[in-house]
Structure 1
Amino acid sequence: MAAALLGVLALLSLLLGLPQQAAAHASLLEASPAAGARLEAAPAEVKLVFNERVEGAVGALEVLDGSSDPVTAERAKLSEDGLALTLPLPELDQGVYTVSYRIVSEDGHPIGGSYVFVIGDPPAARDASTFDVHAQLGHANHAEGGLTTASLIQYAARFLYYAALMLAAGAALWPLLYRQGWSRIADPLRGRLERMPQQALVLVALLYVFVETQLLMEGQPTSEWIRLFTATSVGQSYLALLLLAFVGLALPAGRGALRFVWALLLLATEAWSGHAAAAAPRWAALALDYVHLVFAALWAGGLMLLLFLWSAERKEAGRFAARFSRMAWISIVALTLSGIGLTLLYMTKPEYLLLTPWGILLLVKTGLVVLVAGVGFFLRSRMKRSGFPSGALLKADGALMALILVIVGVFTYISPLPANEPVGWHKMGSEMHVSIRITPNVPGDNEFAVRIWMHQSLGDPKSVKLRLQSEDKPELGAIEIPLEKFEDDEISTFEGYTKTAYRASGTYLPFAGRWTAEVRVMDKNDDERVERLGFRNY
């Protein structure tokens, strides 16, 4: 027995004396494209090389685009020596791409991670700032939270403007579309229907431009006012609006074709200055917005004419109602389709409908349009029975139109996208304080800063790591951010603690969504402390 024990001890001593490799696992040695690479041309493939053989039948290697969607459905191919994985890529456009790998080494150890590379010079991420008029002039947004007297005046001016715009354009479009019936209307009434909307538009356009420019240029020097009207699409659209408003006032009576062209130009000016001018692709947004405005003017202007005729020339109102009813249904269909198209262009994710005032107002507007369709159905049924529209239903339709214009006057000037805000977070602890800053916190390029305050008994950190993990796609590996130590001039000291600061800049947030920032701090005793922060961007 003694001899056997001595033999076992000798064997153990021999084994312990041999070089140990049990702690070593497969790891990524080389990546092409490399992490953080900025390429002028799209790569033909992604290739990962490991220090040990990996399994080719399990795991995954994929590349995601800026919307976090895979760019190819192909599987990666394993090299003959089992050390490299290669994934062929289709022709990629410029943008931000994420490489994510989850594989298993031959010894059964899982390996995972993610990194980002960039092709070309992709455009900045779209959030609420995309639709900020102040950005064209390089001003900070002057908007204040909550309802103020200035904001109430602004919304009132916008409502009056949209009402005047729709009614003036619609009143100018209908005489050509209802040419035969238009000549039957008595001259005095026809003259009022041609003049009054144009007169109202001139007055309201002056008020609207005055209010908008006062708020937009608050506190700015005279030189900036000149630049507003000469160097920005917003200012130029104001000038075009005022010019067309006065031209409409000067148009001779009875020139239906001329007034028709004037109305189309007026609506084109409005389309050029709205959200569509900031959306992408711009041509599609402008075309859809223009269609939306034209059919909205036909509906609003036609309803105004019908109300006037119903109160002044009841028989002609019956004839016009039949023509207007058909156009109203066409308008509702066109407004619905163009509205859906614009929403898809403005919003990068459907969930934003419930995260922004713009989305909530759009849903309310949609409900009102459904009510308009219901009222229109009963109006049409009444006309089939009696030949005349119902006065009560006409007034209800007019009230719904006014409510829709109120909403349009508000939500046309607020962003359809949520606003991104910088991440600023600080946590106190008995042995360590930590802060994280991410600015501006958008998909794409950002500045990252991590500050650590260690208790003096622990000294400076041996290592500090910052990782980003997608909460929306937890299957993706964490993105490691290469921090560099720097001398921090910011005064933020705590008695009994020593501060160290680290930073990085680059494209490490590849797509919008919910994220977790993880800070891992190793002290001199090799004890690791981990802090996590959840945040999101749009």
Structure 2
Amino acid sequence: MRIKKRTVHIAILLLLFLSIMLPSTASAHTSLVEAKPAPDSQLKKSPKNITLTFSSKIEPDLSSITVYNQGGEQVKGTTENVSDDQKSLLLQLPELKTGEYKVSYQIVSTDGHPVEGTYNFTLTVPEPEKNKEVPMTELDQDEKEHQKITVKDKDMQTPKQVSNGETQHDHSTSTYLIRLLYYFSILALAGWVFWGIASSILTSSAKASYIKGSMVLRFFLFIMLLGYGYLQFNSLITGINDLQSLLFQTAFGFAWLLMFVTSMLGFLILHRSRIIDGLWISLLLIGEVIAGHAITYEPLFITSILDMAHLIAASIWIGGLFLIIVFWKHHRNFIIGFLPRFSKYALISILTLSVTGSLMAIIFLPNLSILWETLWGKVLLLKILAVLLVIIIGSIVRKALKNKQNTKLKHLIEWDFALMIGIVLLVGILTFVSPTQEFSTINQDRISFAMSIK
């Protein structure tokens, strides 16, 4: 259906605004919060291990540390260890000689984001005292703190070389576009199927158009899953064994596989039974919860429930709006009857989004000053403003429904649809970007303290 020029103009303005707001690079959800030895440190005694601590859980089978001497040769560590909470990675070292060393790490967070970086430290061993007994140092104390780390032998592989001290991520415009479309495809299809359950559309004259629209959305989701999977897997695998490990031994791989299988089943089982359709929606959204950032925060049960409720509410609102926009021209009578029910569900959905979003922000943010001190926080505030506008428009829509002002309703829904596009884009950014590393450059001490008391 042709949408009025006003809606298109609003959507384009939102896209342009977001493209300006969007940083060319952004930190993934997991970032390095502590390193021992520290970057650029000057040591007098050979460290017995390298210990890196990250802001959230990492995948043991896809994470590694490599150390190089000043000649560029790899220092052979004996074992790599992962802490019980899966946030610390430790590499045991042989006795090192005087010189400059580079630590290179490559990890994958449990929500599927690869993170890699390097830093240097310098070792100067005093020749006369090299073999003398020395008192326990801070490094020795650090070893005691990691006695609970579970040892896991791994084949050492040289990670990709990156610039010193930098954490590298792929955040090109095309990458963000695919991720945003992927996120929208999940919510739009889940909501579309939900309204097939919660409305009379499957028994109305609009049934054929609804089934056709569902098929288009299913193909769209399938393509987006393939594209998003390629983006995530391409930088992590070098062969079939790596792919098997990623799919069956990591949370993100399992989540992607679950959504992929669910997507395929959707072509065979949808719109035959309301119960089956409800289960299908649940599986799809559970996969997105597992693949999302909620599982990297504690308490896991609460963050997962909040994220699931957030996704359900978003899909109901987005799917309903999409249905109205698509069917307004050719199935006006059905939409007029559908609007009162949608208005009620939309109000509940927006309130749910507001509550769950606020609670997750409190849990995820180490400090509320992130809201005004970082670009991430400003994007979140912009999303809150957009939600407030949706609530205002919703109240006007309900009044127009009561007065049967159909022309005014169409204009209001177009505005609502444009705001929905903007909110989905903002949510997509917030889903794939974390404030932690950006905020650490502003106030590293506060984040370290917050992480230490979690």
TM above 0.5, yes or no, is: yes
Cα distance in structure 1, aligned partners of 2:281 and 2:313 = 12
By how many angstroms is 1:254 displaced?
4.0
Deviations 1:481-519 (A, max 9, x none): xxxxxxxxxxxxxxxxxxxxxxxxxxxx99359xxxxxx
Matches within 5 A, 1:127-138: 129-130=55-56, 137-138=63-64
User: Match of 2:209, SS?
Assistant: helix
Aligned residues: 306
Please, which of 333, 338, 353 is the counterpart of residue 320 of structure 1? 338
By how many angstroms is 1:413 displaced?
1.3
By how many angstroms is 1:442 displaced?
7.8
> How does the TM-score come out when normalised to structure 2?
0.60
User: Match of 1:260, SS?
Assistant: helix
Change (3 A) 1:297 1:421: closer
Partner of 1:394: 413
Change (3 A) 1:147 1:332: farther
User: Match of 2:333, SS?
Assistant: helix
Cα distance in structure 1, aligned partners of 2:444 and 2:421 = 38
Superposition CA RMSD, Å: 3.4
By how many angstroms is 1:233 displaced?
0.2
By how many angstroms is 1:186 displaced?
3.0
Asked if the contact 1:171/1:302 (under 8 Å) is kept, the reply is yes
Matched, 1:196 2:209: no
By how many angstroms is 1:383 displaced?
1.5
Change (3 A) 1:277 1:136: farther
Matches within 5 A, 1:222-301: 223-301=241-319
By how many angstroms is 1:148 displaced?
9.6
Specify the code of the residue in structure 1 equivalent to 2:56.
T
Asked if the contact 1:292/1:335 (under 8 Å) is kept, the reply is yes
By how many angstroms is 1:222 displaced?
5.2
By how many angstroms is 1:340 displaced?
0.9
User: Match of 2:369, SS?
Assistant: helix
Matched, 1:173 2:191: no
Change (3 A) 1:385 1:314: same
Change (3 A) 1:158 1:278: same
Asked if the contact 2:374/2:439 (under 8 Å) is kept, the reply is no
Change (3 A) 1:240 1:252: closer
Higher helix fraction: Structure 1 or Structure 2? 2
Change (3 A) 1:223 1:126: same
Specify the code of the residue in structure 1 equivalent to 2:353.
L
Rg larger in structure? 1
Cα distance in structure 2, aligned partners of 1:132 and 1:357 = 25
Asked if the contact 2:297/2:364 (under 8 Å) is kept, the reply is yes
By how many angstroms is 1:252 displaced?
4.7
Please, which of 368, 389, 395 is the counterpart of residue 377 of structure 1? 395
Specify the code of the residue in structure 2 equivalent to 1:511.
F
Change (3 A) 1:341 1:177: same
Cα distance in structure 2, aligned partners of 1:162 and 1:382 = 31
- Which gives a bigger RCO, structure 1 or 2 (Cα 8 Å, sep 6+)? 2
Asked if the contact 1:154/1:212 (under 8 Å) is kept, the reply is no
Deviations 1:120-173 (A, max 9, x none): xxxx9997x327779963424149989998521211111111111011000111
Asked if the contact 1:131/1:415 (under 8 Å) is kept, the reply is no
Asked if the contact 2:59/2:250 (under 8 Å) is kept, the reply is no
Partner of 1:184: 204
User: Match of 1:312, SS?
Assistant: coil
Matches within 5 A, 1:465-484: none
User: Match of 1:237, SS?
Assistant: helix
Change (3 A) 1:174 1:134: farther
Matched, 1:308 2:329: no
Higher strand fraction: Structure 1 or Structure 2? 1
Q: Which runs of 5+ in 1 are unaligned?
A: 1-123, 423-440, 444-471, 473-508, 514-536
Partner of 1:210: 230
User: Match of 2:56, SS?
Assistant: helix
Asked if the contact 1:233/1:273 (under 8 Å) is kept, the reply is yes
User: Match of 1:511, SS?
Assistant: helix
User: Match of 1:261, SS?
Assistant: helix
Partner of 2:182: 161
Moved more, 319-328 or 133-142: 133-142
Cα distance in structure 2, aligned partners of 1:160 and 1:415 = 19
By how many angstroms is 1:292 displaced?
0.3
Matched, 1:410 2:400: no
User: Match of 1:415, SS?
Assistant: coil
Change (3 A) 1:229 1:314: same
Change (3 A) 1:253 1:416: same
User: Match of 1:386, SS?
Assistant: coil
Change (3 A) 1:368 1:419: closer
Moved more, 413-422 or 309-318: 413-422
Matches within 5 A, 1:508-523: 511-512=449-450
Matches within 5 A, 1:392-471: 392-418=411-437
Partner of 2:173: 152
By how many angstroms is 1:295 displaced?
0.5
Cα distance in structure 2, aligned partners of 1:415 and 1:149 = 14
Cα distance in structure 1, aligned partners of 2:251 and 2:169 = 27
Cα distance in structure 1, aligned partners of 2:432 and 2:312 = 19
By how many angstroms is 1:274 displaced?
0.8
Cα distance in structure 2, aligned partners of 1:377 and 1:135 = 51
Asked if the contact 1:352/1:418 (under 8 Å) is kept, the reply is no
Change (3 A) 1:420 1:331: closer
Specify the code of the residue in structure 1 equivalent to 2:219.
Q
